[in-house]
Amino acid sequence: MSVNKKSVEEKIQELEDLLTWFESNEVTVESALDKYERAGQIASELENELNKAKNKVEVIKKKFA
């Protein structure tokens, strides 16, 4: 497991960087496949982190309800 975890903000920035690359004229099929795979991985990680945050908010809301 990786000790150097990226923050949500860093993951979003990496996703934005990948999008910029895809919009450029430097796209090759080989690179595109790798970058597309990485973008999917980042999106999945972000979705998991957002779901965890949502669950924490629900727990907090119940404590104050």
For residue range 6-34, list pLDDT tens digits in order: 999 999 999 999 999 999 988 899 899 99
Would residue 34 count as lying in a domain? yes
Predicted model pTM? 0.78
| 23 located within any domain | yes
Angle at 52 between CA 50 and CA 55, to 5 degrees: 110
Burial 37-47 (b: 16+ CB within 10 A, else e): eebeebeeeee
- Number of structural domains in the chain: 1
Q: Which domain holds residue 18?
A: 8-64
Residue matched to tokens 């690179």: 31
No. of helices (H) and no. of strands (E), the chain = 2, 0
60 occurs within a structural domain: yes
pLDDT in the model for residue 17: 96
Which residue shows structure tokens 């910029």? 20
- Determine, yes or no, domain membership for 16: yes
Burial of 8-18, coded b for 16+ CB within 10 Å and e otherwise, reads eeebeeebeee
